[in-house]
Chain A
Amino acid sequence: MANFTPLSAAIGGALIGLSAVLLMVLTGRIAGISGIFAGSLGLEAGDKGWRVAFLAGLVLAPLIAGVFGHAAPTPAMPANWLIIVVAGLLVGFGTRLGSGCTSGHGICGVARLSARSIAATAIFVGVAVAVVALTRHVFGG
Chain B
Amino acid sequence: MPILAALSCGLIFGFGLLFSGMLQPTKVLGFLDIFGDWDPSLAVVMMAALAVSVPGFAWAKRRAQPILAAQNAWPRSTAIDLPLVIGATMFGIGWGLVGLCPGPALENLATLSPPVIIFAVAMAVGMALHHIWRRPGISIGHDVVLATAADG
Chain A residues close to B by CB (< 8 Å): 1-6, 8-35, 37-38, 41, 43-44, 49-51, 53-65, 70, 72-78, 81, 83-117, 119-121, 123-133, 135-137
Q: Can you list 24 A-B pairs with a CB-CB distance of less than 8 A?
A: A1-B38, A9-B42, A16-B20, A17-B51, A22-B8, A25-B56, A25-B60, A34-B152, A37-B106, A38-B150, A53-B7, A63-B110, A72-B18, A75-B115, A88-B98, A88-B119, A88-B120, A89-B122, A91-B102, A91-B105, A92-B127, A94-B126, A111-B49, A130-B92
**B102-A73 in contact (CB<8A):** no
Q: Tell me whether A93 and B90 are in contact in the complex, defined as CB-CB below 8 angstroms, given that A99-B151, A100-B151 are known contacts.
A: yes
**A84-B18 in contact (CB<8A):** no
**A127-B16 in contact (CB<8A):** no
By a CB distance below 8 angstroms, the chain A residues around B94 are 86-91, 94
Chain B residues close to A by CB (< 8 Å): 2-27, 29-30, 32-42, 44-54, 56-57, 59-61, 63, 65-75, 77-80, 83-98, 100-103, 105-111, 113, 115-116, 118-131, 150-152
**A88-B122 in contact (CB<8A):** yes
By a CB distance below 8 angstroms, the chain B residues around A23 are 5-6, 9
Query: B115 contacts which of A8, A81, A97, A133 (Cβ < 8 Å)?
Result: A81
**B96-A88 in contact (CB<8A):** no
By a CB distance below 8 angstroms, the chain B residues around A135 are 96-97
